[in-house]
Structure 1
Amino acid sequence: MKLIKFLLILLLPIAGFSQMGGEGEVYLKGDRIEAKFNGGGIDKFQEYLNENFDYSKVTKLGKLEATFTVDEQGNVTKIRITQILDIESATEMIRVLKKCPKWEPARRGGKPISIEIKYPMVFQKK
């Protein structure tokens, strides 16, 4: 019994350290700089959508969600609608994303990387 207590006291700090080591891996990935749209963040992208999205195409209330990739050159690629309301609003979202100007790509370690962005739009009565 004393041996078990001794081993528990000895091994508990090691187990705690291994959990902290896993958190450290997340920190190491923290050098990523997010992609920018027209010199800003997602708020600038939202302004672009508000100016270019034809809201008359929306026939249902609810949530439309698009996923797309901003590649290493800043192009919008791999456009997908992951949550659909109706065909008209989904088609309009794809149209607006296809004509989207280039982004400033995300960077990791100073090098451009491609990232996936998930963007939801919620349509509700005002």
Structure 2
Amino acid sequence: MKVVKILLFVLFPMLGFSQIDGEDEVYLNGDLIEAKFNGGGIDEFTKFIRKEFDYSKVTKAGKMVGAFTIDKDGTVKNIKIIEFFDVESATEFIRVLKICPKWEPAKRGGKPISIEIKYPMVFRKK
């Protein structure tokens, strides 16, 4: 019984610190409107990446996953590489994200919000 009380004492305060973000939108009944890039979605962003990315920097096949935040004003911030296979490709991806033009920010309830995007890239050996 003492262990149960200790667990409740430790775990109960943590419930107050949980954050509501992204996946919880269904429960909030929020009218989330996704961020847009050049008037389109992730497909338009992919076109930008393909145009700007210097594929000569890729030395081998592999998968890379980058993450970044689209701020309330549409600026790309907090760029990080979550998964990578070589430093040159990761560095090139960061370079391209740094020159990325502003997005139209995501909106919830008609107000701009910041969101994080995870973007995977797969390179195949030719």
**TM class by shorter-chain length?**
0.7 to 0.9
Summarize deviations over 1:37-86 as a string: whole Å, max 9, x none: 00000000000000000000011211011000000000000000000111
**Structure possessing the higher radius of gyration over alpha carbons:** 1
Q: In the comparison of the two structures, how many residue pairs are matched? A: 103
For the residues of structure 2 that align with 1:30 and 1:45, how far apart are their CA atoms?
A: 25
In terms of fraction of residues, the more helix-rich structure is 1
For the residues of structure 2 that align with 1:123 and 1:30, how far apart are their CA atoms?
A: 36
How well do the aligned residues superpose, as a CA RMSD in angstroms? 1.6
For the residues of structure 2 that align with 1:62 and 1:72, how far apart are their CA atoms?
A: 33
For the residues of structure 2 that align with 1:79 and 1:29, how far apart are their CA atoms?
A: 29
Q: SS where residue 119 of structure 1 aligns?
A: strand
Q: What are structure 2's unaligned runs of at least 5 residues? A: 1-24
Structural mapping, 1:74-89, within 5 Å:
74-89=74-89
- How high is the TM-score relative to the length of structure 1? 0.78
Residue type of the alignment partner of 1:42: I
For the residues of structure 2 that align with 1:93 and 1:29, how far apart are their CA atoms?
A: 35
Task: List structure 1 segments (4+ residues) > 2 angstroms apart after TM superposition.
Answer: 27-30
